[in-house]
Chains A and B, each alone.
Chain A
Amino acid sequence: MSEQLFIQMCITGIVMGLIYILIALGITLIFGVMRIVNFVHGEMTMLSAFSMYYLFEVWHMNFILALLLSVIAISLMGIFFQRYIYKPLGYDILNVMIIAAGASIALKSAGWIIFGPVPRDIATVFPGMIRVLGTPLSMERAAVALICVGLTIALYIFLLKTKTGKSMRAVEQDSEAAAVLGVSIDRVHAIVFVIGCSLAAVAGALVGMLFAVEPEMGGEPLLKSFMIILIGGMGSIPGAIVAGLLLGLIDSFTETLLGGEMAFIIGFALLMLILIIRPKGFFGYEI
Chain B
Amino acid sequence: MKFSVGSFKRYWVALLIIFLFVAPLFVITNPFYLHIIIMMCINIMMSASMWLLATTGLISFGQAGFMFIGAMTSTLLVKELGWPFWVCIPLAGIVPALVSIPVGRLCIRIKGVYFFLVTMAFGELVRGIFAYFRTPFGGWYGIRHIPPPEPHSLFTPLNKVPFYYLGMVLTLVTCWVIYRISRSRIGMTLWSIRESDMLADSIGVNVKKYKLQAFVIAGFFAGIAGTYYAHYFCYISPLVFTFSMSLNTLIYIVVGGLWSFSGPIVGAAVLTLVPEFFRATGVYQMLIFGLILVFTMLFIPRGIVGLLGERVFPLLRQKGERTKITD
Residues of A near any B CB (own CB < 8 A): 37, 85, 88-89, 92-95, 97-99, 101-110, 112-113, 226, 230, 261-262, 264-265, 268-269, 271-272, 275-276, 279-280, 287
Contact = CB atoms under 8 A, between A and B. Distances in A.
Secondary structure at chain A's binding surface: helix, strand, loop or mixed? helix
Contacts of A102: 247, 251, 289-294, 297
A37 B113 CA distance: 8
A94 B114 CA distance: 10
B111 interface: yes
Contacts of A85: 294, 298
A108 B286 contact: yes
A103 B125 contact: no
Given A94-B325, A98-B254, A105-B247, A276 B106 contact: yes
A95 B117 contact: no
A99 B107 contact: no
Interface in B198-254: 244, 247, 250-251, 254
A156 to B, nearest CB: 26
Interface centre among B110, B113, B125, B128 (most CB of A within 10 A): B113
Closest 4 CB pairs between A and B? A106-B290, A102-B293, A109-B287, A265-B128
B325 A105 contact: no
Interface string B70-114: 000000000000000000000000000000000000110111111
A222 to B, nearest CB: 11
Interface in B281-327: 283-284, 286-287, 289-294, 297-298, 324-327
Contacts of A93: 112-113
B283 to A, nearest CB: 4
Nearest to B246: A101
A99 B294 CA distance: 5
6 contacts: A98-B293, A102-B289, A105-B244, A105-B289, A106-B293, A264-B128
Interface centre among B128, B247, B298 (most CB of A within 10 A): B128
Nearest to A215: B283
Secondary structure at chain B's binding surface: helix, strand, loop or mixed? helix
Interface in B245-275: 247, 250-251, 254
Chain B interface size band reads: 35 or more
B36 interface: no
A265 B132 contact: yes
Given A264-B132, A275-B118, 14 more contacts: A94-B112, A94-B116, A95-B324, A98-B254, A99-B297, A101-B293, A113-B284, A261-B128, A261-B131, A268-B122, A271-B117, A279-B111, A287-B112, A287-B113
A269 B125 contact: yes
Contacts of A264: 124, 128, 131-132
Interface centre among A85, A94, A226, A287 (most CB of B within 10 A): A94
A104 B325 contact: no
A265 to B, nearest CB: 4
A112 B250 CA distance: 22
Contact of B325 (A88, A98, A112, A279): A98
B121 interface: yes
Contact of B110 (A37, A95, A275): A275
B171 to A, nearest CB: 25
Nearest to B132: A261
B128 A103 contact: no
B41 interface: no
B246 to A, nearest CB: 10
Contacts of B111: 279, 287
Contact of A97 (B113, B125, B327): B113
Contact of A99 (B122, B293, B326, B327): B293
A104 B290 CA distance: 8
A109 B286 contact: yes
A106 B287 contact: yes
Contact of B121 (A101, A110, A271): A271
Nearest to B62: A272
B28 to A, nearest CB: 31
B118 A94 contact: no
A27 B113 CA distance: 14
B132 to A, nearest CB: 5
Contacts of B125: 265, 268-269, 272
A268 B128 contact: yes
B154 interface: no
Contacts of A279: 109-111, 114
B59 interface: yes
Nearest to B125: A268
B119 to A, nearest CB: 9
B129 interface: yes
A276 B103 CA distance: 10
A112 to B, nearest CB: 4
Interface centre among B106, B132, B297 (most CB of A within 10 A): B297
Contacts of B298: 85, 88-89, 99
Given A105-B286, A226-B117, A262 B326 contact: no
Nearest to B250: A98
A94 B116 CA distance: 9
A105 B294 CA distance: 10
B239 to A, nearest CB: 13
Contacts of B290: 102-107, 109
B283 A268 contact: no
Contacts of A110: 287
Nearest to B286: A109
A282 to B, nearest CB: 14
